[in-house]
Amino acid sequence: MNARRAHKNRATRETTIDIELALDGSGQAEIETGIGFFDHMLDLLARHARWDLKIRAKGDLTVDFHHTVEDTGIVLGQALQTALGTKIGIQRFGWALLPMDECLAQIAIDLSGRPFLAYDVASGSAKIGEFDFELVGEFFRAFAMNAGLNLHATIVRGGNLHHQAEALFKGLAQALRQACAVDPTDATVPSTKGIL
């Protein structure tokens, strides 16, 4: 199997993002976004998806965390799309029902090339420390749109916001690990159209 890797970067007046992604890794992560809680979530994503992931992000954190979180989602989505290449032999679909103590998250994805996000998570103006909980949804949206994936994320049972966020990121990781997996005996693209 060819190495499924990507290196992407993006620079704007608000952020500078540099990401290296290896899909067939061991879950090693080096994350520096300047946002401690977000670093923790991205580390969970890499570890449970079994990706090797390096992220260096510098943003206008004195304004707020929004630009850095959203732009990281954009660039990580682009990196995933590039690393998947032709998508020959991938499983394509992935799902997870992920418990985190009193919380339960449900995630389903399709690496279809047709971006869509259904996000059923109540957030309002709640915070986890200094981190706005609604930014989890902003990351999911930016990631899905730029990776070209269909992503459905639901909190089935809520509770502690940290637990909800962790369940969502771990669930996403499990679903991605499943969908990105390659069947070495299948040399086709998993679509009747012949392309994803």
Over range 52-69, report the average pLDDT. 97
* pTM greater than 0.95: yes
- pLDDT tens per residue across span 156-194: 999 999 999 999 999 999 999 999 999 989 999 988 888
- pLDDT tens per residue across span 35-48: 999 999 999 999 99
Q: Examine the pLDDT at 84 and tell me if it is beyond 70.
A: yes
d(CA 110, CA 149): 6
Are 148 and 84 a contacting pair, CB within 8 Å? no
Q: What is the pLDDT of residue 2?
A: 67
Catalogue all structural domains in the chain, each as residue range(s) with its CATH number.
Answer: 5-180 (3.30.230.40)
